[in-house]
Structure 1
Amino acid sequence: MRESGNPIPEASAPRRNFLEFVTFHQSFAYEEFVEGIRPLRNEEADGEIRYDVVAGVFRRICSKAEVAWRAHGEDAPRFMLVIDEINRANIAKVLGELITLIEDDKRLGEANEITVTLPYSRQRFGVPPNLVILGTLNTADRSIALLDLALRRRFTFVELMPNPSLLRTISGVDLAIALTRLNERIAALLDRDHQIGHSYFMCSDDETGFEELRFLWYHRVIPLLQEYFFNDGERLRAVLGTEFVKQVDVQPGTVKALGSLFDPDARKYEIVRLEGNEFIAALGHLAGKPSGEAQLPLDQIG
């Protein structure tokens, strides 16, 4: 990511004019990112379909940035292209020969400036120096090791790990400690890339925070961990604690019905849906609170 140039203006023009956002996916291609031939309906000719060269998101933001750069030089405002899930697309197919142009010294006006002829429009194209490209990726979804090496060399990587210090204390439970302990267990059983982000535990305040926290716990945190530890109740229980995951016995009728197919060593686990102070106490135990210290205020009980 480039650090030179001026910040994006806030008053002189709408900020959206300086920003483009795109999400990569497996079918995302060069034609969508740079340029491609697209069918367009000609309303003036009874809806007749014609095929034109249409600029993609990368070429559009480059054109805006270049106009500003040629008009203002080094004083030109910076433009930004945000690429979410940058590791989900085939970078070689999306960027093609343009991957070289995003290097700092290959941009317009730089010492080793390079321009290319685009395949569809046949226009000369280069990347202006006042364009910042910001990519985001989640290494838990797909290993960063699978990221195209040519792309890795052209980006600076900044790791953003969970920040428990941003979390509140709800009903006596220090959510920062709870998240830290939860992530320590996840990292020990899986790896550090699968740790849960702090946003999963961000609640409004202590008055409404309990219900919000309980909803997030049962509808976001636990389903995520169930995916991490799919069909492995023992490890899920080790992470969440015995209060939230209990081992249940298989009914004798089920054992009899299964006969020789039943594995006597198999264990069955279920999620325990706790309410009120029981929920707070269990979460407090995860955060290292002695029994009874974490509880709901009196006006929230009942």
Structure 2
Amino acid sequence: MSIENIREFIKAKAVQFGAKTDNEFNKPYVERNNTGQEALKDNGAYFGFIHPEEEVSGPFHDFSLTIFPNDQNKPWLICLGIGSSGFKNDYELATYPGLRRLFTKLTDERGFCKSDFSDIETGLPKSIVGSSELQHIKNTIKTYTKVLPTCQIVDDPESEEGKQVISAFVAGYAKLRDWPSNKGHRKEISEALEPFLKTETKDEEIEIENLLSERRYIVLQGPPGTGKTRMAKSVADKIGKKTFFTQFHAETSFSDFIFGIRPDNANEKLLYKEYLGHFTKALKYAVENSREKVILIIDEINRANLSNVLGPIFYLFEHKMNVSDVEIEISPNFKVNKLPNNFFVIATMNTADRSLAVVDFALRRRFAWYTMTPKIIDGSSKRLENVSVNKITGGEFFFKEDFAAIEEIFNWYASSTELNLQPGEGYFIAESEIEMLNRIKYEIFPLIKEYLQEGLLRNAKEEFNNYFSSRINLSLFE
């Protein structure tokens, strides 16, 4: 395995990914090469790229692309490293969740990825430091153990598989250093990362059907625009013969959902009549029609005060509850000691609604929770008014480039909690380019502006502003 061949390989990849090496005064990186015979005797041999502002020798700062080689035909270690002098320019970059998300996908069970890339106090785990595969460079690894946020063992760097891993790490470093300056560079990076970023295609509807059959009470949670209500209705249509629907709001009460009394407006005198809520109507139907599957859909379940709305029926939501001697009165002359097996509940919850109280743990235990995330809508790819879209049903198009632009910003800058705010695919469906521009201007732009005003996604403000400025000629900052 030739160190020189791999050095030339990563430099060629860097050029493909946008590193402009022909400018003597504005270089994209400084190359380090410490692979002399003495160093290769497990005495700190490495090569790779460091920050372009650093010196060609001596201690250095910030992120590096670091490769620990050997000349014994044994495994190498490919790493994103940090100079032993710590951070000077890259500390903020180290805090971006997207950097960790990206390199997590580039490592497998023979690699490692820290949960915090700004951490230069915690060393590598025993699985790497004490690995039998890396005994030939164990002293070198111990020397740098605290400044290697992520690494991957590669058996043969000159094999197709080895080059694929190295290319992906160089592509990750190119994104980190912002090398790409045109579509060609970005395409090369995407192709290098694609084998590691592929996600399993799954039929969400079948998964949810199976989960509902098993657990009986489920919540579909996710950002707006991910099709939660549509999915609930679709699953209900397939699995059940009878469907009941209600939507919760801040004023929803026990008397709305379970049972109450209301004035009888048909009489001249003030009289009251009983009112059966949606839950009671659905439950009565299920009890009286035991051979039918009955589905109750509760849209926006977390918009109401659930303790007040559910009251004593909260006890009944146990998907494996046996018949007990405790009877819960649902309405006058209607009591049950368990919910019938033909009765199912699908609820939806908008994870972007920050004004709502967190659902308590007792409710979480009684329901199964299925997360729906923003995703690309497949269809026949075509051009529409110079914009790349996927044609879906009828005259509708999915504007995949706009979706991808917003998704990339969220993936790179959003915390785990902030990912719940990403606009779903429903925001990017339109019948024309003009309609899509209006959706961006009057729906997505105000939404992102509100997020920023609330102090969310602060690190992404310039990226969002650049997107809106170029797409609809509007600035987030007046």
Name the TM tier (shorter chain).
0.5 to 0.7
The equivalent residue for 2:318 is 103
The equivalent residue for 1:210 is 433
- 1:138 equivalenced with 2:353 (yes/no): no
The equivalent residue for 1:275 is none
The equivalent residue for 2:256 is 32
Distance 1:23 1:184, change over 3 A: same
Identity score, percent: 24
The one of 20, 27, 30 equivalent to 2:244 is 20
Tell me if the contact between 2:437 and 2:472 (Cα under 8 Å) persists in the aligned partners.
no
In 1, Cα distance between the equivalents of 2:320 and 2:433? 53
The equivalent residue for 1:257 is none
Note the C-alpha offset of 1:145: 7.7
In 2, Cα distance between the equivalents of 1:113 and 1:166? 52
The equivalent residue for 1:163 is 375
Report SS of the residue matched to 2:264.
strand
Tell me if the contact between 1:9 and 1:77 (Cα under 8 Å) persists in the aligned partners.
no
The equivalent residue for 1:3 is 213
The equivalent residue for 1:121 is 332
The one of 413, 423, 431 equivalent to 1:196 is 423
- 1:172 equivalenced with 2:387 (yes/no): yes
Distance 1:246 1:211, change over 3 A: closer
In 2, Cα distance between the equivalents of 1:67 and 1:231? 50
Deviates most, 17-26 or 154-163? 17-26
Note the C-alpha offset of 1:9: 7.9
Matched to 2:362, the amino acid is A
Matched to 2:257, the amino acid is F
Matched to 1:22, the amino acid is T
Tell me if the contact between 2:237 and 2:243 (Cα under 8 Å) persists in the aligned partners.
no
Tell me if the contact between 1:23 and 1:83 (Cα under 8 Å) persists in the aligned partners.
yes
TM-score in terms of structure 1 length: 0.65
The one of 185, 188, 211 equivalent to 2:409 is 185
TM-score in terms of structure 2 length: 0.42
Larger Rg: 2
In 2, Cα distance between the equivalents of 1:247 and 1:234? 19
The equivalent residue for 1:57 is 278
Distance 1:176 1:113, change over 3 A: farther
Deviations 1:207-239 (A, max 9, x none): xx2122122121211121122122889954421
Length, aligned pairs only: 228
In 1, Cα distance between the equivalents of 2:316 and 2:474? 58
Tell me if the contact between 1:237 and 1:244 (Cα under 8 Å) persists in the aligned partners.
no
What does 1:78-97 align with in structure 2 at a 5 Å threshold? 78-97=293-312
In 2, Cα distance between the equivalents of 1:114 and 1:239? 56
What does 1:236-255 align with in structure 2 at a 5 Å threshold? 236-241=461-466, 242-244=469-471
Tell me if the contact between 2:407 and 2:422 (Cα under 8 Å) persists in the aligned partners.
yes
Tell me if the contact between 1:33 and 1:57 (Cα under 8 Å) persists in the aligned partners.
yes
Deviations 1:227-254 (A, max 9, x none): 2122889954421414258799xxxxxx
In 2, Cα distance between the equivalents of 1:133 and 1:37? 25
Distance 1:159 1:89, change over 3 A: same
Structure 1 unaligned runs (5+)? 70-75, 249-267, 271-302
The one of 49, 65, 68 equivalent to 2:289 is 68
Tell me if the contact between 2:297 and 2:345 (Cα under 8 Å) persists in the aligned partners.
yes
Distance 1:143 1:50, change over 3 A: closer
Note the C-alpha offset of 1:160: 0.6
Deviations 1:122-151 (A, max 9, x none): 532352221111110111103888112111
Question: Displaced runs of 4+ in structure 1, greater than 6 A?
Answer: 7-10, 231-234, 245-248
